[in-house]
């Protein structure tokens, strides 16, 4: 009897845990395995899913949305769809981390909302929110979305629902494009030039907006495709958005320079269209240039992106300079001491607001302690001798922080943020001499596979690990085989399947997107699709002359051309600037504001605006010369030779294979 019972139990287990074997190694998306279902189910039991406060707050004050469910460009192309994540509703499927599923449903709630008597928000029309504050004679707009199409549609809805009022001021809370790129959808150059609309921004806003994505731009953009899941279908086994918000609108972003700059970390007050506004400047937090601000008459706080309904990034996976959790927490603490006693509503550049003084203080304190904890505990463990991968695996938030939905890993994760704080202090090297000069991935991979007994053995053993649910380990081992034998289809499929289960379990939107994007490229290869939009004219024009020539110098194929020696003088005729480009030993040194005085190879007369046209691919150097827009005195051949050594980047470089 007992034996029969045992046999029945085993049979049930076998049915639930269907065996994964060689015949499963194909390009199809797979269902969640029993291990993935269990991991997702455990989290469902752990977090307080019955608490509906976030849903209530995300819907509170709803006025209207765009009935059509899409925002279109003038040519009819869709810029943004409010319906693209409509499949995320109700109970999470086995292929979804239930916490990410919940967050993504909340993020897709969209429309115009009343926050308080004088404050309204547009949410779910783009990646970020646009906030509208009533001034004495018109609107003060905070963060006008990523592209003109979405901000324009937002403003039309506002006009229709609340009546038309002029825009008197725009506040850019920080230097990320989802907070300023849509500005030209709501105000014109004329309004800015004439001073009819005043623009406020933190110190360093313009420079950082332009520069953060230039020098490393190509590789960052390619990685951003992984991070935001641009290659993935929007469906149960695909992407759910970014965790921070749904996704960005499509179009060409613009920018204005601000005439009113906020630069005091201890605080400064401005009267904006008759409304008292108290700012604190918070550099090197979520963005290099950022600020938070409080409207005392409305008892309302704008958190910018330093306080959000997610653990944010101390390092962003697309690749960027790391951020400092200590400074970040200090700014939140300043918010608490300055406005914690009086605040009644607190809203951010993403997600929904928080109402009520007690709720807000609890939220702010736990966000403050979150960043401080990760920063300090990483350093404590590093000082004990632990290295980044160890710390990322050891570090666990205390339950009081971990159980709050707004502290969960939707965008940043405790794991990769801990590595970031290590990097902030120690850089890339963990101190182990084995890591000083390891073999490159492909060379090491071939040796590993050989040492492990060859490809067939590696696959066989990995299948066993896969059937035990050891997906992190399968990913580690199969990566070696894919790098040793990139055309080994079985290896590619098995690695893809492991990534996929890791993606299904991930609570972080970017982690899910990274894993599933990797799986997709392993299954079908890198498939260059037409990538959205051209470079934005405003961003190219906004590049300082120094940044422009630093960028040009970076593209010089120096390792092949160390013998070239040139001294070029560039005379930028429209901006009256002088630049010397000194080419020597494979490096290009721009000297801004002066010419080289001796051994000049040639002097080039050109307009900066024509150089911008070349960057935008609206012109090329040959055309400029032919049309007489570029004139060269001295050695012409040398300048052409230099230009021929400028590298061209291809966007679709490999990531998950050599
Ligand atoms: Zn943002």
Q: 195-246: per-residue pLDDT in tens? A: 999 999 999 999 999 988 889 989 999 999 999 999 999 999 999 999 999 9
Strands 111-116, 119-123: pairing is antiparallel
Partner residues linked to 62 by β-bridges: 113
CA distance 410 to 510: 8
Give the pLDDT band of residue 535 (cuts 50, 70, 90): confident
pLDDT(578) > 70:
yes
From residue 526, alpha-carbon distances to 215, 489, 551 in Å are: 24, 14, 27
CA of 246 to the centre of ligand 1 (A): 11
pLDDT at 530: 79
CA of 276 to the centre of ligand 1 (A): 25
Q: Which among 78, 170, 188, 84 is positioned nearest to 133, based on CA atoms? A: 170
pLDDT at 1: 43
pLDDT at 534: 54
Query: If you average pLDDT over residues 392-420, what whole number do you get?
Result: 98
- Between 393 and 13, whose confidence is greater? 393
Q: Which among 215, 252, 220 is positioned nearest to 532, based on CA atoms? A: 252
Partner residues linked to 272 by β-bridges: 275
CA of 438 to the centre of ligand 1 (A): 37
CA distance 404 to 105: 17
CA of 406 to the centre of ligand 1 (A): 16
Q: Which among 324, 331, 514, 319 is positioned nearest to 422, based on CA atoms? A: 324
pLDDT tens digits along 151-193: 999 999 999 999 999 999 999 999 999 999 999 999 999 999 9
Query: If you average pLDDT over residues 616-625, what whole number do you get?
Result: 91
CA of 451 to the centre of ligand 1 (A): 47
CA of 88 to the centre of ligand 1 (A): 22
CA of 217 to the centre of ligand 1 (A): 18
pLDDT at 17: 53
CA distance 555 to 642: 11
Helix (H) or strand (E) holding 39: helix 34-46
Take residue 139 and report the two structure tokens written for it: 């609107």
Residue appearing with tokens 């199409």: 149
CA of 245 to the centre of ligand 1 (A): 8
Radius of gyration of the chain (CA): 27
CA distance 509 to 308: 15
pLDDT tens digits along 192-207: 999 999 999 999 999 9
CA of 127 to the centre of ligand 1 (A): 7
CA of 177 to the centre of ligand 1 (A): 8
CA of 391 to the centre of ligand 1 (A): 28
Take residue 134 and report the two structure tokens written for it: 């009533």
Q: Which among 534, 537, 532, 531 is positioned nearest to 210, based on CA atoms? A: 537
Partner residues linked to 299 by β-bridges: none
pLDDT at 214: 87
* Residue 557 φ/ψ region, left for φ over 0, alpha for ψ in the -120 to 50 degree band, beta for the rest: beta
For residue 70, count other CB atoms closer than 10 A to its CB: 13
Helix (H) or strand (E) holding 103: helix 98-107
pLDDT tens digits along 418-456: 999 999 999 999 999 999 999 999 999 999 999 999 999
CA of 201 to the centre of ligand 1 (A): 15
pLDDT(334) > 70:
yes
CA of 267 to the centre of ligand 1 (A): 23
- Between 4 and 397, whose confidence is greater? 397
pLDDT(649) > 80:
yes
CA of 398 to the centre of ligand 1 (A): 27
Q: Which among 308, 349, 358, 299 is positioned nearest to 328, based on CA atoms? A: 308
Q: Roughly what angle, to the nearest 10 degrees, separates helices 509-524 and 98-107?
A: 100
Take residue 71 and report the two structure tokens written for it: 């925002």
User: 304, 173 in Cβ contact below 8 A?
Assistant: yes
Q: What secondary structure does DSSP assign to 345-409, as a single string?
A: EEE-SSS--EESHHHHHHHHHHHHHHHHHHHHHHHHHHHTT--HHHHHHH----HHHHTSGGGSS
Give the count of alpha carbons within 13 A of 651, CB side only: 12
Helix (H) or strand (E) holding 507: none
Give the pLDDT band of residue 15 (cuts 50, 70, 90): very low
pLDDT at 547: 95
Q: CB under 8 Å to 202, separation ≥6 — which residues?
A: 172, 173, 174, 175, 261, 262, 263, 281, 282, 283, 289, 290, 291
CA of 178 to the centre of ligand 1 (A): 5
CA of 229 to the centre of ligand 1 (A): 17
Give the pLDDT band of residue 533 (cuts 50, 70, 90): low
CA of 589 to the centre of ligand 1 (A): 35
Strands 78-81, 70-72: pairing is antiparallel
Give the pLDDT band of residue 280 (cuts 50, 70, 90): very high
Take residue 461 and report the two structure tokens written for it: 């053993």
Give the pLDDT band of residue 531 (cuts 50, 70, 90): confident
pLDDT(6) > 90:
no
CA distance 108 to 311: 18
Q: CB under 8 Å to 292, separation ≥6 — which residues?
A: 173, 279, 280, 282, 301, 302, 303, 304, 306, 307, 331, 335
CA distance 346 to 341: 13
Partner residues linked to 568 by β-bridges: 581, 602
CA of 361 to the centre of ligand 1 (A): 22
CA of 286 to the centre of ligand 1 (A): 9
CA of 121 to the centre of ligand 1 (A): 15
CA of 492 to the centre of ligand 1 (A): 35
- E strands, 144-240, are 167-171, 198-202
**Edge-to-edge order in the sheet of strand 62-64:** 62-64, 111-116, 119-123, 130-134, 139-142, 167-171, 198-202, 260-262
User: 177, 146 in Cβ contact below 8 A?
Assistant: yes
pLDDT tens digits along 68-86: 999 999 999 999 999 999 9
Helix (H) or strand (E) holding 493: helix 489-505
């Amino acid at each position: 009897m007992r034996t029969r019972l045992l046999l029945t139990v085993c049979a049930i287990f076998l049915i639930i845990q269907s065996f994964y074997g060689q015949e499963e190694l194909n390009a199809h998306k797979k269902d969640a395995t029993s291990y993935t279902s269990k991991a997702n189910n455990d989290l469902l039991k752990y977090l307080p899913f019955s608490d509906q406060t976030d849903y209530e707050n995300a819907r509170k004050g709803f006025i209207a949305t765009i009935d059509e469910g899409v925002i279109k460009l003038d040519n009819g192309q869709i810029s943004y769809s409010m319906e693209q994540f409509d499949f995320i509703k109700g109970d999470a499927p086995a292929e979804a981390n239930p916490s990410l599923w919940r967050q993504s449903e909340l993020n897709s709630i969209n429309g115009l909302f009343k926050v308080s008597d004088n404050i309204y928000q547009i949410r779910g029309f783009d990646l970020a929110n646009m906030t509208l504050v009533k001034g004495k004679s018109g609107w003060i707009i905070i963060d006008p979305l990523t592209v003109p199409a979405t901000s324009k549609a937002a403003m039309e809805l506002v006009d229709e629902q609340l009546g038309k009022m002029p825009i008197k001021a725009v506040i850019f809370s920080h230097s990320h494009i989802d907070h300023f790129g849509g500005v030209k959808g709501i105000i014109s150059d004329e309004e800015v030039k004439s001073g009819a609309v005043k623009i406020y921004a933190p110190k360093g806003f313009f420079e950082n907006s332009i520069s953060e994505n230039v020098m490393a731009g190509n590789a960052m953009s390619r990685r951003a495709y992984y991070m935001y899941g641009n290659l993935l279908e929007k469906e149960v086994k695909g992407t759910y958005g970014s965790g921070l918000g749904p996704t960005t609108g499509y179009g060409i972003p613009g920018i204005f320079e601000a005439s009113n700059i906020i630069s005091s970390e201890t605080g400064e007050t401005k009267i904006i269209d008759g409304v008292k506004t108290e700012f604190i400047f918070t550099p090197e937090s979520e963005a290099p240039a950022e600020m938070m601000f409080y409207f005392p008459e409305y008892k309302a706080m704008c958190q910018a992106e330093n306080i959000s309904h997610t653990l944010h990034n101390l390092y962003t996976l697309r690749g960027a300079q790391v951020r400092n959790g200590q400074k970040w927490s200090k700014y939140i603490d300043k918010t608490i001491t300055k406005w914690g006693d009086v605040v009644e509503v607190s809203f951010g550049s993403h997600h929904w607001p928080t109402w009520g003084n007690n709720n807000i203080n609890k939220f702010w304190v736990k966000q403050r302690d979150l960043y401080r904890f990760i920063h300090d505990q990483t350093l404590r463990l590093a000082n004990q001798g632990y290295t980044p991968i160890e710390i990322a695996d050891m570090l666990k938030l205390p339950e009081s922080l971990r159980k709050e939905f707004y502290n969960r890993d939707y965008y940043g994760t405790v794991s990769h943020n801990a590595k970031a704080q290590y990097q902030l202090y120690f850089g890339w090297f963990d101190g182990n001499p084995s890591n000083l000069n390891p073999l490159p991935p492909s060379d090491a991979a071939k040796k590993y596979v050989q040492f492990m007994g060859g490809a067939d053995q590696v696959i066989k053993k990995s299948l066993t690990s896969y059937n035990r649910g050891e997906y992190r380990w399968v990913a580690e081992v199969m990566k070696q085989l894919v790098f040793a034998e990139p055309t080994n289809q079985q290896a590619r499929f098995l690695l893809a399947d492991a990534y996929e289960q890791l993606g299904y379990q991930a609570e972080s939107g970017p982690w899910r997107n990274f894993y599933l994007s990797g799986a997709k490229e392993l299954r079908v290869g890198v498939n260059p699709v037409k990538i959205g939009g051209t470079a934005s004219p405003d961003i190219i024009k906004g590049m300082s002359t120094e940044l422009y020539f630093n960028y040009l110098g970076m593209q010089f194929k120096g390792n092949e051309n160390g013998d070239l020696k040139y001294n070029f003088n560039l005379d930028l005729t429209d901006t009256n600037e002088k630049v010397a480009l000194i080419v020597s030993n494979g490096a290009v040194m721009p000297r801004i504001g002066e010419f080289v005085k001796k051994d000049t190879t040639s002097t080039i007369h050109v307009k900066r605006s024509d150089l911008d046209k070349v960057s935008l691919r609206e012109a090329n150097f040959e055309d400029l010369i032919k049309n007489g827009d570029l004139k060269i005195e001295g050695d012409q051949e040398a300048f052409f030779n230099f230009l021929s050594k400028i590298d061209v980047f291809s966007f679709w470089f490999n990531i998950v294979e050599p």
